[in-house]
Amino acid sequence: MFGAVVVGIGTAGWVRIRDMLAPQPGSHAEQLSVRGFISRRSLDTQQGVSQISLEEALSREDIHAAFICTENVAHEDNVRRFLQAGKHVCVEYPMTINYKAAVELWDLALEKGLVLHEEHIEILTEEYKGLKREVEGKVLKEGTLHFTGGPLKPGFGFPAFSGIARLTWLVDLFGELSVTAATMEEDDSGKYIKMTAKLLTCANRPLTWIEERGPGLPRAKNINFQFDSCTLTQTPPAPVGAVGLFMQDLIHFSAKLVGQVSPEELQREKVRILHCLELAEKIQQLCQS
Ligand code: NAD
């Protein structure tokens, strides 16, 4: 068994506890046992699980893994502390809000022989899997992915990082990208933002990624992908999957813990994650220059 702690009791942290308490039967997730949670607040037991201190979690020998579910600005420090203490880490995306730190953390995990896993539930949805099947084999001419949503709470970082899930869709669909331009609009209240990034595929096809957030904006992903054969303006209708998204991610993380994910797949994931974080940083730099 792998003893685990959850750091940060927001939406994601709560779901992590729930899923570890009732793992998918017959899956590797049954190998995880939640031993406590860590919060900056002083909280009562959560779903029957007790709060413990960070120091206790770092030093206890029956704790082998940590789930980092805090707001994004606190990910880097938490991931580093747990890796340094010899614990495996599952961190909600984005791992960090700068590229260099992510590279350092990955080097640290490698040096210590630990699993470092970044959650990406957005590529586990049935909606995305259907889209990926649709796109496969088609030749892209140009495309746009326009995300809208409500304002984010403080601590979630620059939109290219907090919105890394959208960038991950584009990279997973169309391969490695480069950034050619990026701009950011913001209103005085800071509640409305619109980031526009111009990207190019390896075949020099243009892609535009827009991340727009503001009060009253519906949470939606609007796509317009033009191929030589057709245009896709909607993700194909998809049923809700039988296994929850965070549960699928939990199973994937536990498969890594028990050595059931091939080195090739681990490497592919790492390359994709670092590539997306590097693109996010370039977008941020262009927006701020
Ligand atoms: P959240 O706002 O619910 O929680 C974020 C942090 O705020 C946590 O550390 C939590 O302890 C703290 N917090 C929450 N409520 C609080 C309160 N009332 N007082 C003081 N602190 C409070 O955010 P979240 O949705 O759980 O996101 C956490 C991480 O998970 C982020 O990195 C996010 O990018 C990632 N993530 C979330 C989802 C999701 O569906 N929620 C999906 C994918 C990735």
Which residue among 11, 54, 97 is best mutated to probe the pocket of ligand 1, counting the most ligand atoms within 8 A of its Cβ?
Answer: 11
CATH homologous superfamily of domain 2-120+243-258? NAD(P)-binding Rossmann-like Domain (3.40.50.720)
> Does pTM top 0.85 for this prediction?
yes
| Residues 258-268 as b or e (16 or more Cβ within 10 Å = b) | eeebeeeeeee
Q: What is the pLDDT of residue 189?
A: 86
Q: What residues contact residue 153 under an 8 Å CB cut-off, 6+ apart?
A: 71
- Peptide bond before residue 237 is cis, with ω within 30 degrees of 0: no
The C-alpha atoms of residue 159 and residue 156 are separated, in whole angstroms, by: 8
**Distance from the CA of 251 to the center of ligand 1, in angstroms?**
21
Q: From the CA of 41, give the closest atom in ligand 1.
A: 20
Within the chain, all domains assigned CATH 3.40.50.720 are found at 2-120+243-258
- Specify the pLDDT at position 62: 98
Q: Are 156 and 71 a contacting pair, CB within 8 Å?
A: yes
Q: For position 190, what pLDDT does the model report?
A: 82
Strands 88-91 and 116-118: parallel
Task: Give me the residues paired with residue 111 across strands.
Answer: none
Give the C-alpha separation, 232 to 130, whole Å: 12
- Give CA angle at 34 (96, 250), nearest 5°: 55
Q: What is the pLDDT of residue 45?
A: 98
Retrieve residue 64's tokens: 């082998």
Residue type, 59: S
Q: What is the per-residue pLDDT for 180?
A: 98
Predicted local confidence at residue 8, as pLDDT:
98
What's the CA-to-centroid distance between 156 and ligand 1, angstroms? 9
pLDDT along the chain (289 residues), means of 10: 98 98 98 98 98 98 98 98 98 98 98 98 96 97 98 95 98 98 93 97 98 97 97 92 95 98 98 98 97
Atom of ligand 1 nearest to the CA of 39: 11
Position 241 scores a pLDDT of 86
Pocket-testing residue among 16, 54, 70, 213, ligand 1, by greatest number of atoms within 8 A of Cβ = 70
> What is the CB < 6 Å shell around ligand 1?
8-13, 39, 41, 69-72, 92-93, 121, 153
* Ligand 1: centre distance to CA 198 (Å): 29
CATH 3.30.360.10 in the chain, residue ranges: 126-237+279-288
Q: What pLDDT is recorded for position 142?
A: 98
For residues 173 and 167, give the distance between their C-alpha atoms in angstroms, rounded to a whole number.
Answer: 10
Other C-beta atoms closer than 10 Å to the C-beta of 179 total 20
> What's the CA-to-centroid distance between 14 and ligand 1, angstroms?
9
CA 211 to chain centre: 16
Looking at CATH, the fold of the domain delimited by 126-237+279-288 is given as: Dihydrodipicolinate Reductase; domain 2 (3.30.360)
* Cα 70 to middle of ligand 1, angstroms: 5
